[in-house]
Amino acid sequence: MTSAPAAYSTRRAVEESDLQACFQVRKEVFVGEQNVPEELEYDAHDATAVHVLAVTADGAALGTGRLLHGADAAGKTGGDPAVGSLGRLAVSREARGLGVGAALVRAIEDEARALGLAAVDLHAQTHALGFYERLGYVVYGPEFPDAGMPHRAMRRVIRPA
C-alpha cells in the first residue's frame, strides 16, 4: 500500500529540471494512460507556454499544466488577445483526489492574471467537464474530437474587463 504524498505546492516551471518534470508527468498520463501519440503530446507551443508544476516538499512532481497566451493561444480562443488557453493539465495517478488538479488550474489562472489576461479558455475532455465547472468554467460550443477523445470548449473570466 502506498501512502498519499505529503503536502505539495505549485510553482511556475522555469528551470530545465522543472520543465523535464512537467514533460514526464504528461508522458505518464497522456501517452502512457490515455494512449495519446507522443508526437501529438509535445508541440511547438511548449517552448513559449507558461508551464506550472505541482511538487511535494521533497521535489517529486505530482502534476502539471500549461498556459498559452498571445498568438499561441489565438487558434484555441477565437483570436481574442485577452484570453489565454489552459491545456495539458495532468496529475499523476498517485496524486489524484488530493486537490492537485484544482491547485494547478488556480496557479495557471494566477499566471494569466500576471500577464494581464481577462479570461482563460480550455478544451476539456468531456469526462472532466464537472471538474472544470466546479472551478467556475462554463461550456460553450459543440463537442469536438481531439486526439481521438471527445472535448468541449470552456471559459472562465478571471478579472473584470
Q: pLDDT by residue (tens digit) across 83-102?
A: 999 999 999 999 999 999 99
Strand partners for 65: 52
Per-residue tens of pLDDT for the chain, all 161 residues:
455 545 899 999 999 999 999 999 999 999 999 998 998 899 999 999 999 999 999 999 999 999 999 999 998 888 899 999 999 999 999 999 999 999 999 999 999 999 999 999 999 999 999 999 999 999 999 999 988 889 999 999 998 65
Question: Does the pTM exceed 0.85?
Answer: yes
Distances (CA, A) of 102 to 47, 89, 95, 149: 24, 10, 12, 22
Q: Supply the pLDDT for residue 1.
A: 44
Q: What percent of the chain is modeled with pLDDT above 90?
A: 84
Dihedral, CA of residue 110, residue 52, residue 123 and residue 84, to nearest 10: 40
- Cβ-proximal residues to 128 (8 Å cutoff; 6+ apart), any chain: none
CA distance 159 to 119: 7
Q: Which residues contact 116 (CB under 8 A, 6 or more apart)?
A: 82
